[in-house]
Amino acid sequence: MSTQIRRTVLFLICLVMTEMSLAQRDQIIYTRSFALELEAAGADFISPVEGFYKIKMLKADRHLEYDLVLRSEDKAFEMRFDVKPDYQLAVPHIHCFNLLNSIAVNEEHFDIELNLFSPEESQKRYHADWSAYADFVPKRRFSDFHYGRLVTIYREDRGLIHQILLFNEHNREKDLRMHTISFKEAH
């Protein structure tokens, strides 16, 4: 093998190793408390592998306490998670509507689009007994983002999970990210 070929092969190996170490470094390591909440709720979290997200230090606001908040590196997208494994009430729709009412602008010219999934679709998408999502315009005191999506999932004996997506432009990201968290399949 010629020296030039050896150098090229060595360069390619170094390049691959560098990419692998960068990918591992950029993987989101979430908090132990979030991992414990997920475990208690029997839920799975799919960490975003494309795009760059960082943990944002926002433990609570006047509307909710968060178990994890992720913001894209370009600050154009944010995800907030609230996992309630101890939720025992069988009225997730009321909890969802109350949260939506407190974070969404409630004016005549702003529509709130609420989408309830059928029990079959809830099971298929989230391994949940009940699930819904709502597109809304956030109140300014809640967020500076222009748009929001609330995803709420519930499973009896597992709890309630809220995922709030915040963004400035309607694109595929909100549709992809609404499946970041779900309950584990029933055994």
Q: Write out pLDDT tens, residues 112-147.
A: 888 999 999 999 999 999 999 999 999 999 999 999
The pLDDT, as a whole number, for residue 22 is 39
Q: How far apart are CA 58 and CA 80, in angstroms?
A: 9
pLDDT for residue 23 is more than 50: no
| 128, 43 Cβ separation under 8 angstroms | no
Average confidence (pLDDT) over 19-36: 61
Contacts of 62 (CB under 8 A, 6+ apart): 141
Query: Residue 70's closest CA among 84, 85, 87, 51?
Result: 51
Question: In the structure, what pLDDT confidence band is assigned to residue 152 with cuts at 50, 70 and 90?
Answer: very high
The pLDDT, as a whole number, for residue 142 is 93
Q: How far apart are CA 29 and CA 37, in angstroms?
A: 15
Question: In the structure, what pLDDT confidence band is assigned to residue 10 with cuts at 50, 70 and 90?
Answer: low
Give the mean pLDDT of the chain: 84
Tell me, what DSSP letter sits at residue 65? B
- Entry pTM: 0.81
Average confidence (pLDDT) over 49-68: 82
Query: Residue 151's closest CA among 132, 174, 135?
Result: 132
Which residue do the tokens 């390619």 mark?
12
The pLDDT, as a whole number, for residue 29 is 57
Average confidence (pLDDT) over 9-13: 50
